[in-house]
Structure 1
Amino acid sequence: MTYFPRRSSIIEGVGDEVVYAFGAFLGIFIPLTIFVVTNRNSRITQNQRIHPESAENVRSTREEVQRTHPNRRQASMQNTGEITCPICLGNAEYGIETNCGHTFCGTCITTYWQHGTWLGAVRCPVCRQQVTLLLINFTEAENDVDSPDRQHIIERINDYNRRFSGEPRPLIDYLRDLPTLLRHAFTEFFTVGGLIWMFRLRIIVCFFAAFMYFISPLDIIPEAVFGVLGFMDDLFILLLLAIYISIIYRQYVQNRPTNAPQN
């Protein structure tokens, strides 16, 4: 009788399929995390030009902002390295980021909404995507000062989010929103006073469930049969996880009280 030596596993006591699944999980999750975190830095350097279809509304908003805020600082011709608001052309004060990833002054974007003749959620002045969520993007100095302007902007932003963040959207909009929403959710998750523990727990449970699927020997598309194509179901599960986390964060922002800590 011929005996074949037993092949040793990569890690003693742990099946190779578990090791491969864990490696696939890290190989997918880590690049996604790096992309989400670094997306902001690459986006800031991009020129936020007003879309031609928004030009008239933006011009009207500029006049309204100048009329109601005559002392508002205007942009200089020098590049200060800060984010420029496409509406007033000045450095963004009390910055507000849309779900599509464009940043405006809090006063400018709320004036753009309230001064215009909109039947529902506005469209982004830059890319014309429907703005269903406005995200606080204040600087540390602006967060430390409890001014009436800051409180007024937060109230208007919360009012907008409660009205329009729950509107139905096509799947492509969920995918477009992922970089911005995941970045904000990631930042608040590790910030003291950010996401409350209930929402943090939901996110942790989602990651744990996805991880258990990755290390499970049961696959929708088994790698042992389909090879590299067998990881397609893992990618699909990770995409669903990202979309669900963005939905959780959207619900949190929608219901955030006015006096809650802002990030």
Structure 2
Amino acid sequence: MDVPLENDICSICHANFHIPCQANCSHWFCGNCILQVWNHRSALHPCKCPLCRREITLLVPSEASSRQRQDPEVGEVFQGIERYNRIFGERANGLMQRMQDLPFLLKRLLQDLINPQRSLPLVMRARVYLAVKLPLLSMQL
């Protein structure tokens, strides 16, 4: 699913989604809301999902939001999301984190394969590869 449910609202601001982003735990938030949660706590550590308390290591904006990127407000939120993903999405995570993220990443990868118009970000492709490959390598050793 590339968009939040139709009647769903952001669990942070309790309003309709504005620039919806999906976290690696599969929960949806307004892009600006989740970035404020991150900045409010500690910009040195990834924030935890306000709903399930899992560490958020990846934020994926909806496809519809990506098309509005020329809007200055949307562009600013996208820069924040890209910065967040650069800092926390590429760092080495433990095996448990990779296993927890695998269903989310595989679902996104499948959507990317089905729809040739979409382009999965490089950081997500790398995470899917590492999530699948590293546990297999460790089992062979």
Aligned residue pair count? 127
| Unmatched tracts of structure 1, length 5 or more | 1-39, 46-80, 203-239, 246-263
- Residue 110 of structure 1: CA displacement? 0.8
Once residues 85 and 96 of structure 2 are traced to their aligned partners in structure 1, the CA distance between those partners, rounded to angstroms, is 20
Does residue 176 of structure 1 match 2:64?
Answer: no
One-letter amino acid of the structure 1 residue matched with residue 88 of structure 2: F
Q: Deviations over 1:34-66 (max 9, x none)?
A: xxxxxx49xx67xxxxxxxxxxxxxxxxxxxxx
CA contact (8 A) 1:96 1:138 kept: no
> What is the TM-score of this pair, normalised by structure 1?
0.42
- Residue 192 of structure 1: CA displacement? 1.9
Residue 12 (structure 1) aligns with: none
- Residue 138 of structure 1: CA displacement? 4.2
Distance 1:128 1:242, change over 3 A: same
- Residue 243 of structure 1: CA displacement? 3.2
Distance 1:82 1:138, change over 3 A: farther
| Unmatched tracts of structure 2, length 5 or more | 134-141
Structure 1 ranges of 4+ moved more than 6 A: none
CA RMSD of aligned residues (A): 3.0
Once residues 89 and 51 of structure 2 are traced to their aligned partners in structure 1, the CA distance between those partners, rounded to angstroms, is 19
Distance 1:242 1:116, change over 3 A: closer
Higher helix proportion, which one?
A: 1
Does residue 133 of structure 1 match 2:58?
Answer: yes
- Residue 143 of structure 1: CA displacement? 3.9
Residue 87 (structure 1) aligns with: 12
CA contact (8 A) 1:133 1:165 kept: yes
Distance 1:241 1:117, change over 3 A: closer
- Residue 193 of structure 1: CA displacement? 4.9
One-letter amino acid of the structure 2 residue matched with residue 174 of structure 1: R
Distance 1:242 1:155, change over 3 A: closer
Once residues 148 and 120 of structure 1 are traced to their aligned partners in structure 2, the CA distance between those partners, rounded to angstroms, is 27
Residue 243 (structure 1) aligns with: 131
- Residue 92 of structure 1: CA displacement? 1.4
> What is the TM-score of this pair, normalised by structure 2?
0.74
Distance 1:88 1:192, change over 3 A: same
Distance 1:143 1:122, change over 3 A: closer
Once the two structures are superposed, the pairs formed by residues 33-44 of structure 1 within 5 Å of their partners are 40=1
Residue 14 (structure 1) aligns with: none
